[in-house]
Structure 1
Amino acid sequence: MANAERSSLIDPRSGFCKSNSTFYTKRNPISLPSSPSLDSVSTVKSDYVKATSSSFYIPIVCLAVMSLGAVVTTANTLYTAGEISKQIADSKPKLVFTTVHLAHKLPDGIFIVLTEENEEETTRGVIGVVSEMMKKEPSGERVRDRVNQEDTAVMLYSSGTTGASKGVISSHKNLTTHVARMLAESSLQEQVFICTVPMFHTFGLLTFAMATVALGSTVVILGRFELNEMLAAVEKYRATTLILAPPVLVVMTNEADVIKAKYDLRSLDKVTCGGAPLSKEVTEGFLKKYPTVRVLQAYALTESNGGGAFMDVVDSGRYGTAGKLTCDVEARIVDPDTGRFLGTNQTGELWLKGPSISKGYFKNQEATSETFNREGWLKTGDLCYIDDDGFLYIVDRLKELIKYKGYQVAPAELEALLITHPDILDAAVIPTIPMAYVTRKPESNLSEKQVIDFISKQVAPYKKIRKVAFINSIPKTPSGKILRKDLIKLSISKL
């Protein structure tokens, strides 16, 4: 953490922003054990501590908790009280860091530490506020537990795009591997990041709560994604780097003239995309409007802690690929039916192995055995192939392949075609029928027949879309992955 003293976290909504000052993270962890109000819940090694907040204090909270040997677990801030209660019953956290606006979602009997000042009526269960706790010096009475690399550091719940969400257990070694991976890229030290990725998500937590602190980068933490707020932050803080989902690139491309007239984005140097492969049409369209911006493609899973594939789209001259494997990862392509290892340009399930691969699933030995083999290989569930030059191509999720009259169809292929239509903002395809959910551009009168005909002209007969429904927005995970299971439920409810 040699650059930690240079690292700054900026909260545009706080007083720090209004006074044009930045908040510098401190190496001294939050004085959790020295606070009198926390004596009864003093956190010890292997205890679970939950964070359900998008506050810019979360990076400091997480580093402090992990330094004690305790385990950080997070929750989606959009979850209902029932969904959060289910996770709390699962992990049994010693205390929860959250905001006063989210505290009402927590069950009774939970100790709460607020990540922001509470000017409202006292909330039940609140025993402290982070900003006040940071003013206290550690008492020095506590003897810290020794933390080992193989000890559990975080437990993040998987996105659950195709099934129930599972708690993914990752060690300190898993996390520091990702940090070391980013430290190897020295140019990142001078970057100014805009963090729109929630820190309950693996990429947000690993990158913005850990790696950027080690790098000495500046991070502007928005807490939630809102396009105009993000663009205004790029202009105000001269941001250089954005992390975005592919549909946002489509919007920025379609609205480029309006955006560039309103915001000064000349500082923007690179945009990194994940969650889904970028098509050639989307990439070229974006670069035509923003020719000085580099487009990077990344691929990883919650279970791989940032390990996967990465590339600069223009430098590689490749489109539709996730890039080449990161330096610390091995890969296999395996026939999902026979278990046979496949060669280049052959499509099968991607397996990954390396020091960032997580330890397994929390209290779920069956799922752990199904996903991680005895040799330490992670079965990603992604249907992929690797070409002769080592570039990884993601075809689709194995569980999401559409099976129609004996043929297999990848939803991602149809979705990539759909978003090239001038009247379509976003789209998702589900295996029932098969069917497409489409988000139209404002004031568009695009019809179901027009969508079906648009695809029919470009694909083989068995790949045709048979039904179309229009929807205000496509449900997605924080990383931009389509929540296909939600759309399947919606389609069934309409029968």
Structure 2
Amino acid sequence: MASVFDPATGIYSSCRPALSMPSPGATGGIVQFLLERTSDPGISSKLALVDAITGERVTFSQLRRRISVIAQGLIELGVRRGDVVLILSPNSIQFVESFLAVIFVGAILTTVNPLNTAEEIAKQARDSSPSLVITTLELADKVQRLDLPSVIIDHRDGSVLPPRSIPYSSLLRESPIFRAGSSMSAPIESNLDDTVALLYSSGTTGVSKGVMLSHRNFLAAAGQVNMDAEMEGRENDVLLVMLPLFHIFGLAVSYASLQRSETVVILPRFEFLHFLKSIQDFRVTQLPLVPPVAIALAKHAAVADYDLSSIKNVISGAAPLGKEIMETCSRRLPLADIRQGYGLTESTGLALLTLPREDPRFMGAAGTLVSGTEAMVVDPETCKPVPPQKSGELWLRGQQIMKGYLNNPTATASTIDKNGWLHTGDLVYVNQGRFFVLDRMKELIKYKGFQVAPAELEALLLSHPSLLDAAVVPLADEEAGQVPIAYVVKKPNATVDESNVLNFIAKQVAPYKRLRRVSFIDAIPKSAAGKILRRELTALPQSKL
């Protein structure tokens, strides 16, 4: 089932079965589809969500009720169709419930990395214009400057609520401020192309933008994620979500699993031993993860102390995973199928996925096209398709491709062309229908799956009073995948040193964006047009640092 190339058009197509989607013009959305798929009496008593740390459990019957009750509470708080609700929270059962309840009322969820600074959150809020915040007591200070009403997920009796906030428990009718027993019987009617999520991505330009994802996008991605499971006849899978739910990877696989009536075990925070214990205790069968965790599975001595024999599938995504690590994981988990996927926020997290029990010769490939997806590999200079084995920029087309960037038609037009092709900015080649990712043309740095935009850090560096010029490039790192490092040019007679620059940046950005090294050079290499020649700089760490 390798991807098939048509030499007449230069287009690759998927050989997986056709993607089943609602008919054109159909109404309804991802929550309605989920509720319909899980309404069978045989599913109602099955576990839907489990907190791996506290042991809290929610059945599908309870989930259906909780979504409708929370939705009613959101309406009583003033949330209306088309409004944006911002969620700033670690992984939790309440995160998933909130996501589904917001969409139930026809509103839009925008997610935020809890590591982001208050200024970074405020910037996202200025662009997305939320009317309500859902957060935790620990993170509430970061959203105070937004001056918005908020719902506190983890409020307990006796704890002090921030101004203009109510406890999450109130939405579940544990407080008399809402009418007892009232709930919504059905989701607000939606068009498949209505936006349901605004996830912020640095895209192809390095400037954070709101990716507008629709019901259609999520339904397509769920069908694509679940296609292989259905072909293999898998049932009663248990998914462990250690991936952050604010990221498209974690959000998309969680929704897809619930749609298949699978149990989703949520790890609120990642600690490696808790992670291993959760796999053992809950007999996890499906394990989506990112390369640093795959490396730990391959190398950490503690793995031998836990029973991980329940694992059937390990799927690594968010950044490339090397062939050697995949082979080592396979030896340590001989009963598991070690696979890899590729996607972007702009493709609802998925475009390529390794075939089940793939030929070992292709280990290390990013995969083959998922159902309902087309691709071209294009010469970046001529924009003409190139044949197999030749490298070029990956273009994608399918129903999982985003609607566009919020409030940014120029960036949208430069990323999705008039024929519907998403220009990924990633350099790939194809061998026997398998796609191999070579490099990131778009220059983003991926730290443990998080996107770090060089342009953002360069702008901050240039604001330093002692620096004249700066460039940020990635440095390969076995654990993180890549870390950001900087080359800077000092102003004449300036006395700034590396620690001063590192601290200057660390105070202004989230931890994952912090620079790991700073080197002082005489000049930043640039083209005649003034573009930074990053390839010259990326070669320097290996030879001089």
Q: Answer yes or no: same fold by TM over 0.5.
A: yes
- Mapped pair 1:376 → 2:420: yes
With 247-256 and 374-383 compared, the bigger mean Cα shift is at: 247-256
User: What are the equivalent positions in structure 2 for 1:433-472 lying under 5 Å apart?
Assistant: none
Q: Distance in 2 between matches of 1:286 and 1:382?
A: 26
User: What are the equivalent positions in structure 2 for 1:260-275 lying under 5 Å apart?
Assistant: 260=304, 262-275=305-318
* Map of 1:245 onto structure 2: 290
- Mapped pair 1:13 → 2:53: yes
Q: 1:213 aligns with which of 231, 244, 258?
A: 258
Q: 1:254 aligns with which of 294, 299, 320?
A: 299
Q: 1:222 aligns with which of 243, 267, 283?
A: 267
Q: Distance in 2 between matches of 1:401 and 1:111?
A: 35
User: What are the equivalent positions in structure 2 for 1:96-115 lying under 5 Å apart?
Assistant: 96-106=133-143, 107-115=145-153
CA-to-aligned-CA distance 1:40-70 (integer Å, 9 cap, x gap): x421111111111122111111111112111
Task: Give the C-alpha shift of residue 276 in structure 1.
Answer: 2.6
- Mapped pair 1:125 → 2:164: yes
* Map of 2:92 onto structure 1: 55
Q: Distance in 2 between matches of 1:212 and 1:378?
A: 26
CA-to-aligned-CA distance 1:208-248 (integer Å, 9 cap, x gap): 1x211111111111122211110011111111222222222
User: Is residue 62–residue 72 contact of structure 1 (8 Å, CA) maintained in 2?
Assistant: yes
Task: Give the C-alpha shift of residue 33 in structure 1.
Answer: 6.2
User: Is residue 7–residue 212 contact of structure 1 (8 Å, CA) maintained in 2?
Assistant: no
* Map of 2:196 onto structure 1: 153
- Mapped pair 1:194 → 2:230: no
Identify if the C-alpha distance between structure 1 residues 71 and 162 changes in structure 2 by more than 3 Å, giving closer, same or farther: same
Q: Distance in 1 between matches of 2:339 and 2:53?
A: 29
User: Is residue 271–residue 293 contact of structure 1 (8 Å, CA) maintained in 2?
Assistant: yes
Task: Give the C-alpha shift of residue 491 in structure 1.
Answer: 2.5
Q: 1:75 aligns with which of 112, 117, 124?
A: 112
With 290-299 and 154-163 compared, the bigger mean Cα shift is at: 154-163
* Map of 1:288 onto structure 2: 331
Task: Give the C-alpha shift of residue 376 in structure 1.
Answer: 1.0
Amino acid at match of 1:51: I
Q: Which ranges in structure 2 are unaligned for 5 or more consecutive residues?
A: 1-33, 175-179, 446-472, 488-501, 523-545
CA-to-aligned-CA distance 1:380-414 (integer Å, 9 cap, x gap): 01001112x21001001013399xxxxxxxx99x9
User: Is residue 69–residue 146 contact of structure 1 (8 Å, CA) maintained in 2?
Assistant: yes
TM-score, normalized by length of structure 1? Answer: 0.77
User: Is residue 307–residue 328 contact of structure 1 (8 Å, CA) maintained in 2?
Assistant: no
* Map of 1:491 onto structure 2: 518
Amino acid at match of 1:49: V
* Map of 1:333 onto structure 2: 377
Q: Distance in 1 between matches of 2:271 and 2:354?
A: 26
User: Is residue 67–residue 147 contact of structure 1 (8 Å, CA) maintained in 2?
Assistant: no
Task: Give the C-alpha shift of residue 432 in structure 1.
Answer: 7.1
- Mapped pair 1:428 → 2:482: yes
Q: Which has the higher contact order (CA 8 A, sep 6+)?
A: 2
Q: Distance in 2 between matches of 1:30 and 1:139?
A: 6
SS of alignment partner, residue 265 of structure 1: coil
- Mapped pair 1:43 → 2:89: no
TM-score, normalized by length of structure 2? Answer: 0.70
Task: Give the C-alpha shift of residue 30 in structure 1.
Answer: 3.9
Q: 2:345 aligns with which of 272, 287, 302?
A: 302
User: What are the equivalent positions in structure 2 for 1:383-398 lying under 5 Å apart?
Assistant: 383-387=427-431, 389-398=432-441
Identify if the C-alpha distance between structure 1 residues 113 and 289 changes in structure 2 by more than 3 Å, giving closer, same or farther: same
With 309-318 and 21-30 compared, the bigger mean Cα shift is at: 21-30
Task: Give the C-alpha shift of residue 115 in structure 1.
Answer: 1.8
Task: Give the C-alpha shift of residue 264 in structure 1.
Answer: 1.8
Q: Distance in 2 between matches of 1:232 and 1:33?
A: 34
SS of alignment partner, residue 206 of structure 2: coil
Identify if the C-alpha distance between structure 1 residues 77 and 238 changes in structure 2 by more than 3 Å, giving closer, same or farther: same
User: Is residue 280–residue 320 contact of structure 1 (8 Å, CA) maintained in 2?
Assistant: yes
User: Is residue 197–residue 223 contact of structure 1 (8 Å, CA) maintained in 2?
Assistant: no
User: Is residue 295–residue 312 contact of structure 1 (8 Å, CA) maintained in 2?
Assistant: no
Q: Distance in 2 between matches of 1:194 and 1:312?
A: 21
User: Is residue 71–residue 105 contact of structure 2 (8 Å, CA) maintained in 1?
Assistant: no
Amino acid at match of 1:230: F
Q: Distance in 1 between matches of 2:517 and 2:204?
A: 14
Identify if the C-alpha distance between structure 1 residues 98 and 143 changes in structure 2 by more than 3 Å, giving closer, same or farther: same
User: Is residue 191–residue 239 contact of structure 1 (8 Å, CA) maintained in 2?
Assistant: yes
Q: Distance in 2 between matches of 1:223 and 1:245?
A: 16
User: Is residue 361–residue 367 contact of structure 1 (8 Å, CA) maintained in 2?
Assistant: yes
User: Is residue 75–residue 105 contact of structure 2 (8 Å, CA) maintained in 1?
Assistant: no
Identify if the C-alpha distance between structure 1 residues 101 and 308 changes in structure 2 by more than 3 Å, giving closer, same or farther: same
CA-to-aligned-CA distance 1:104-157 (integer Å, 9 cap, x gap): 1102521111222334112212134146526653356x9975310011111101
User: Is residue 51–residue 74 contact of structure 1 (8 Å, CA) maintained in 2?
Assistant: yes
User: Is residue 307–residue 357 contact of structure 1 (8 Å, CA) maintained in 2?
Assistant: no
User: Is residue 30–residue 134 contact of structure 1 (8 Å, CA) maintained in 2?
Assistant: no
Task: Give the C-alpha shift of residue 490 in structure 1.
Answer: 4.5
Q: 2:402 aligns with which of 350, 358, 367?
A: 358
Identify if the C-alpha distance between structure 1 residues 213 and 144 changes in structure 2 by more than 3 Å, giving closer, same or farther: closer
Identity %: 34
RMSD of equivalent CA atoms: 3.2
Q: Which ranges in structure 1 are unaligned for 5 or more consecutive residues?
A: 403-410, 420-424, 434-470, 476-481
